[in-house]
Structure 1
Amino acid sequence: MRTAAFRLMLAVTVLGFGGHALLLPVLPLWVSRAGSGEFGAGATTGVFMLTTVLTQLAVPWLLRVLGYRAVFASGLVLLAAPTPFVLGTAELGPVLALNAVRGIGFGLITVAGSALVAELVPPAEHGRASSRYGLAIGIPGLALLPLGVATVDALGFTGVFWTATASPLLAALLVPFLRATSPTPRRHASDPGVEELARSEAGVDRVSPDPVAGRRAFVLAGLGPMAAMLAGSVAQGGLTTFLPLVAPGAGVAVPVALFALALGGVLGRGVAGPLVDRRGPGRLLLPGGVLSALGMGVELLAVGLSPWLLVPGALAVGLGFGLVQNDSLVALFAAAGPARYGAASAAWNIGFDAGTGAGASGLGAVAQPFGFRAAFGVAALLLLATTPLTRRRSSPTP
């Protein structure tokens, strides 16, 4: 983590994800003000996430063929390059098409970026490295998501769009200086035996010479981390989408709750890093899921009572999910081994993005007929229902 390559990786991440975070709330506003309404505003994000997830499925193959730097740089360019063209039209169809291209770029950088973390540091530091990577993603979002719309008033749409273009392009120019190795199986000479220990902690005692058996072992060992990741992202996605609707006349309580949700995620990932490295992957999945479930229970009680109760509930959900995010990523890396870091990264990112979309759509389907209390209750039950899968395996996968 002290190498120039890893520090440069963090700088590239801040620039790339910062440009994304700045535009995320502004693009829906752009089409909404042009007359596309709420449907058009939601469609911009929906199309973006759809192409992101579809792209993530192909990234492990692209990493093997092209290498990390080429995939990462290409993703940053695709994320940035379509943005200025949005200024030429506010019609929904062209904007959705341009945002679909941006989603492809985002799918590339999310998988390549988190896989690079595993490549650039030895397994003994994966917890802390993933934590710092999470901070590099979370802090720009924490600052820019609430400020995105306000920035439009200060700089206008033109200034925001060009800033969101320049930041990822600058990051792409820095990528060639990353001394990233190719995604091939190897041992870390500086940490003999660490990989075996990490894989044992994840329930995998060796890399099977049989590729089918190796994939099966990875899937079995990854069930717990993926279940925790999906349940947590459903809860967070539901809160992000519906908190403004739960208490529409609550004044500043809802923005503060959204900030608390994001802040909790950043703090949770920061706390998880050293704990995962010291205690091994998989130990924080259960407490993280329970903490998020308790937070959703507080949100359930807040509906119809006091909007300020939404703040501690959102903070608890964010903290719990932050623990799960970091621990699940390291657990998947340990289960996969160096030969499958790309696949582990893709699985984690797909779980995050797909769960976020499911939280928005699935909990919305519950809230429409039964109300937000029922929706938040379903999310809490889902978090609790997945906890048995997060328990550490008592014996290694054969």
Structure 2
Amino acid sequence: MVGTSAPAGIAGAPFRFMLGATVLCFSGYALLLPVVPLWAERGGSGAFGSGATTAVLMATTVATQLAVPWLLVRIGHRWVLAAGSVLLGAPTPFLALSADLAPVLALSALRGVGFGLATVAGSALVAELVPREQHGRAAGRYGLAVGVPQLVLLAAGVAVVDRFGFTAVFVVAGAGPVLGALLVPGIRMSGATVPTTAGPPPRPPVRSALTPVLAMLTCSISQGGLITFLPLAVPDAGLLVPGALLGTAAGSLLGRLVAGELVDRRGWGGRLLVPGMLLTAAGLMAEVVSLGAGAGALVVIGAVAVGFGFGMVQNDSLTVLFAAFGSGGYGAASAVWNIAYDAGTGVGALGLGAVAEPFGYSAAFGAAAVLLGVGVVVARARPGAATGRP
């Protein structure tokens, strides 16, 4: 690394501008995550086709994320974040032109490119803009910027569609990320965060990344399936589904904040992965029981548990990966983390949709819980997995 100036830290203006851009970017993402599958269903798609909209979004997101560490070195974090925000938002209003599956999938793919750019650049900036001893709390605040839009808008999207229609939602969801791009010039990076070479970042030991990536994948599959299919599994339930979506977003937000404090102040980095996976599995089983009993308050309780468990895993896994890759590889660590997150979301939407089509939504949620259980067994079977330390 070159330069003598230190990162400004979590109280600095660059970090705050990054958080503001993140809030606006994720507003456009969160608002549509449960809405686009409903739009595709209106166009005649079944559960599999509706789930494919999220799967395609995540597939192009992941494909893009593979190239982002290279782009970060060559054109810089700010340009990548701004370009991603515009690509995520600008195509969104065109969804209103047709509910047929083909154009919806095409626009979802384009938005996925933007989301892939923005997510890797944003989470890499978490490490680049603050000193290492603040990584846990910085990741928690980044989780706040990611979680607040989901806390409000995952539930609001379905409710606003019922009140104002799909077109209004598409226009608002498109405006947020584009406005976020206007904040990017305020993210001024210190000389200490500029890489000295354009070569590839150092490669961490594979074993250091296995447990956090496994935890992210299994939890993301679970939450991705829950968010995509809960509105379809509990139709005409009044405020129950918006309440559950609000609950999973709130749980995720709280889980990330709690984990950030425990990582920085208690030194528990890596120790929260397995507990987070177990809590996520318990939440899914609560959903299975609730659907079998005709839904009810347990739908909300289970969603909160899924969100809190996944929130713990999100924060802890990100800090573990930053440590494993080192200061020269924050972009690569961010890409690995985001790929695990978004690939899991896509697999959850498509794979659990394939289970739900013939067997029902209870079977889909139960399959995700079993997958988490297998993940816990594999993680604990690895040497050192009990603490999750690299």
Query: TM-score scaled by structure 1?
Result: 0.83
CA distance in 2, matches of 1:252, 1:150: 8
Aligned to 1:363: 352
Matches within 5 A, 1:298-377: 298-308=286-296, 309-368=298-357, 370-377=359-366
* Larger Rg over CA atoms: 1
Q: 2:386 aligns with which of 384, 388, 391?
A: 391
**Residue 169 (structure 1) shift:** 1.9
**Residue 29 (structure 1) shift:** 4.8
Per-residue CA shift, 1:76-107, capped at 9, x if unaligned?
A: 11112223444555555444333322211111
**Residue 50 (structure 1) shift:** 1.7
SS at match of 2:292: coil
**Residue 252 (structure 1) shift:** 3.7
Aligned to 2:224: 237
Q: 2:261 aligns with which of 274, 277, 295?
A: 274
**Residue 111 (structure 1) shift:** 0.6
Q: Say if 1:166 and 1:296 are closer, same or farther in 2 by CA, change over 3 A.
A: closer
Per-residue CA shift, 1:36-65, capped at 9, x if unaligned?
A: 444665443332222111111111111111
Matches within 5 A, 1:149-298: 149-152=158-161, 157-181=166-190, 184=194, 214-217=202-205, 219-248=206-235, 250-278=237-265, 279-298=267-286
SS at match of 1:303: helix
Amino acid at match of 2:126: V
8 Å CA contact retained: 2:259, 2:315: yes
Q: Say if 1:383 and 1:161 are closer, same or farther in 2 by CA, change over 3 A.
A: closer
Amino acid at match of 2:258: V
8 Å CA contact retained: 1:224, 1:391: no
Which of 1 and 2 has higher RCO (CA within 8 Å, sep 6+)?
2
CA distance in 2, matches of 1:70, 1:312: 41
CA distance in 1, matches of 2:371, 2:93: 41
CA distance in 1, matches of 2:294, 2:44: 33
Per-residue CA shift, 1:233-264, capped at 9, x if unaligned?
A: 12212222333444446554333223222221
- Taking only the aligned residue pairs, the percentage that are identical comes to 60
CA distance in 2, matches of 1:88, 1:339: 45
Q: Say if 1:249 and 1:128 are closer, same or farther in 2 by CA, change over 3 A.
A: same
378-387 or 60-69, which moves further after superposition? 378-387
User: Are 1:48 and 2:43 counterparts?
Assistant: no
Unmatched segments (≥5 aa) in structure 1: 187-210
8 Å CA contact retained: 1:138, 1:266: yes
**Residue 338 (structure 1) shift:** 1.4
**Residue 347 (structure 1) shift:** 0.8
Aligned to 2:112: 103
Matches within 5 A, 1:29-68: 29-30=38-39, 32-33=41-42, 35-38=43-46, 41-68=50-77
8 Å CA contact retained: 1:185, 1:338: no
CA RMSD in angstroms, aligned pairs only? 2.8
**Residue 370 (structure 1) shift:** 4.9
**Residue 299 (structure 1) shift:** 2.6
